[in-house]
Amino acid sequence: MQHSQGFNPRPKLSLPLPRSVGVESDDDLLCLRVNRDPNEPGAADYESQIKAGLSSQLPEGCELLSVSVVGVNTSFQPSEATYVLTVQPEYPNENLKAAIKRVLASESLNLQRPIDTKTSKFKTVDVRGFLKSIELNGRSITVECNISSNGSIRVDEILRLLELDVEKLAAPIRRTNVQWQSN
């Protein structure tokens, strides 16, 4: 495993798609830099060793599904993410259904995003292209989002567009699936 340089070296690792505060995830990707060639003999054994070592350090309820050793210049970019919002029993009503229809029928959805908290500057962003679908099934709202180099829609923006706030949710927002592209 590669470590940073300096007085207090740390493992070189990153989450290519970090979660917002208050969002749980069933599908995260952790990139960990190692000193190993993926084409080198014994790479599969090395993957098993990494998986066993990391799994033993994870908190209860956190499961490591797979480990793959890839080339040094490989990078991963998310292309889609799916979020599930579970609302309180009284909120899957006509207002919520109307908000979903309005959002999906819109050709553009311009939102103000803060760019500098010190000076209260904002920029206008059209987030419609980042919304792939929104479905209401009982108390669960499933939102599929597109992610590109141009950006994505934020979880708080989804809540705002659907006229929801955290108090109307029955559980934390869950990111259930992410589609990845690698170079």
59 in any annotated domain: no
Mean of the pLDDT values across residues 16-34? Answer: 86
- Look up the CATH number of the domain holding residue 169: 3.30.70
For the whole model, what pTM was predicted? 0.85
Give the total number of structural domains in the chain.
Answer: 1
Range of the domain at 132: 78-182
The reported pLDDT for the residue numbered 70 is 80
Residues forming a β-bridge with 123: 113
Tokens 């992410």 map to which residue? 178
pLDDT of 161 over the 70 cut:
yes
Alpha carbons within 13 angstroms on the beta-carbon side of residue 93 total 8
137 in any annotated domain: yes
Kindly report the number of other CB atoms within 10 A of residue 4's CB atom: 10
128 in any annotated domain: yes
pLDDT tens digits for range 45-66: 878 888 898 899 889 988 888 8
Q: Which residues contact 134 (CB under 8 A, 6 or more apart)?
A: 100, 103, 104, 141, 142, 143, 144, 162
DSSP conformation class of 36: -
